[in-house]
Amino acid sequence: MKKEVKFSLVYRDMWQSSGKYVPRKDQLEKIAPLIIDMKCFDRVETNGGAAEQVNLLYGENPNPSVRAFTAALHKGGIECHMLDRALNALRMNPVPADVRQLMYKVKKAQGVDITRIFCGLNDVRNIIPSIQWANEAGMISQAAMSITYSQVHTAEYYIEMAEKLIEAGAKEIALKDMAGVGRPVTLGKIVNHIKTQHPDIKVQYHGHTTPGLSMASVLEVCKAGCDYIDVAMEPLSWGTVHPDVISVQAMLKDAGFLVKDIDMKTYMAARSMTQSFIDDFLGYWIDPRNRYINSLLLGCGLPGGMMGSLMADLKPVHAAINMNRKNQGLPELSEDEMLVELFQEVQDIWPKLGNPPLVTPFSQYTKNIALMNLFAMSKGEPRYETSIDPAAWDMILGKAGKLPGTLAPEIVELAKKKGFEFFTGNPQDNYPDALPHFIEEMEKNGWDRGQDDEELFEFAMHEKQYREYKSGEAKRRFNQELDAKMKAKAEQSGITVNLDDLRKMRHPNAEAITSPVSGRIIWELDAYEKSIPPATGTKYNEGDTFCYVQTPYAPEEVKTNWSGKLVEVVAEQGKVVKKGDILAFIEK
């Protein structure tokens, strides 16, 4: 009998390995039926990682978005999975235990079936509590191993880790090859051991294509018994993302595996729709260089998904380094030369920092140290003295978990010189429970805890971003950034446009509310100083009071001329507007 291999579409990671933002709720609801009708996917990655945080950053509540996407996919019998950073849960820094535990109850209620739990340091102490909480909540606990390649990270290392995770109650194991640097034969050995010793444990492989090994790795893990393969689809496959389902399906079918056929007519429709999301607004944050495979990453092991942020970080430091070199009479470095210098520095310092797997957030810490080392050396200063920030020190000192390798003596000496103490206890002990504090504040503010406590969880998980979402500040800042990007793109094409025209383009299905007179915007007459605009999504009926415009003679009431929901507020409290200026958009 042929071995069956099933596909999981990593729709969340496709976007986050390409750019910054993820599709809106309405876009996810549109794409879900097409994902189902392609008839080749058994699983879809719907949320997790930073996805829900960036929802808040552009002013959208992620909870309805997750519920809508999972509900739509469940209609087609597709399982939904999320990315879970263990101690860090859905953010970049550690999370209190009671907030972590609440996450599984909330996500199960929202329709997420599987949680992929990984620790960026592969410290099983950070993963095991999440396995237990996920199991208790009725989710499938998929414990993930962060794959990298070093003298420490051998097949035996990962086999031992897998045994500990299975013993702790993990229902499935994932190989999270976030940089695509896992060597194919070694990956096959790991999967073969798991499937031989634990045939009932499902294994899923997640491999990025950046350095070019992914297709070979997929074939090797499938030969060893892998059950699920993560894939992407055009226009967001290959490059820093994942291999395309069409290529993987063809390769595995030729190799004798049982794989589902792809409805190509629907694939092309889904491809076109995904491109329309890029054209809508998401593409403004996608670097075109992310489409390329880069074998240079094999040496340093950096994940391709961070190349966009790496290049953005590199530009100002590159300029400063070249200025320092010029002052010393040295030739300036080109961007390619600078990139090679950075990759080499990462490769050199990585073992000295204890070989943390280069995955979020530890890949960022290591890259930042390397970058600032290059800057320091360009000034004639030593490495490390000023290049390690507090978050990176927490990694080095053991506060985030045990490092896989051994710190170099110079790093240990520097820590002692600065008076730092190394931590060997359980990392979770550093972060006490916090839910009572957030519950108290929500009650004080009159904020609803939400269905299944999902709003409480969101506030506790992403406190700063949630406050800015509630105040409307996140939406206003995002729209300002989008306006600037749209205007810059138009000007590059030789087109002169004003902001009102851009805003109308952004909301083709909405009507603009305009000011009937000139004056100053007031959202609430009886709370001028603390007045804030209504939240996105607020529903209005025709004839409702929307806001006021203070004129020299009296406040002028602005009413809605139709029923619908608010999709954007343009005018801020206290802003002086002219007659006819756009104040907001309401979608009918």
Tokens of 504: 């109308």
- The mean pLDDT of the chain is 91
**What proportion of the chain, given as a percentage, has pLDDT over 70?**
97
> What is the reported pTM?
0.85
Q: Is the pLDDT of residue 289 over 90?
A: no
pLDDT of residue 71: 98
Distance CA 387, CA 377 (A): 11
pLDDT of residue 501: 74
pLDDT tens track for 420-478: 999 999 999 999 999 999 999 999 999 999 999 999 999 999 999 999 999 888 888 88
Q: Is the pLDDT of residue 92 over 70?
A: yes
Mean pLDDT of 130-137: 98
Mean pLDDT of 575-579: 89
Confidence at 509, pLDDT banded by 50, 70, 90? confident
Q: Is the pLDDT of residue 161 over 70?
A: yes
Which residues share a beta bridge with 206?
176
Annotate 222-249 with DSSP letters as a single string. HHTT--EEEEB-TTS-STTS--BHHHHH
Distance CA 147, CA 303 (A): 11
Confidence at 162, pLDDT banded by 50, 70, 90? very high
Q: Is the pLDDT of residue 206 over 60?
A: yes
> What is the SS3 assignment for 323?
helix
Distance CA 515, CA 582 (A): 7
Q: Is the pLDDT of residue 404 over 60?
A: yes
Distance CA 314, CA 336 (A): 11
Answer CATH for 507-587 from 3.30.390.10, 1.10.1060.10, 2.40.50.100, 1.10.10.10: 2.40.50.100
CATH of domain 6-291: 3.20.20.70
Q: List own/partner pairs for 319-327 with CB under 8 A and 24 or more apart.
A: 320/375, 320/378, 321/374, 321/375, 321/378, 324/375, 324/378, 324/379, 325/378
Please report, for the chain, the start and end positions of each structural domain, with discontinuous segments joined by +: 6-291, 297-428, 507-587
pLDDT of residue 526: 63
Q: Is the pLDDT of residue 305 over 80?
A: no
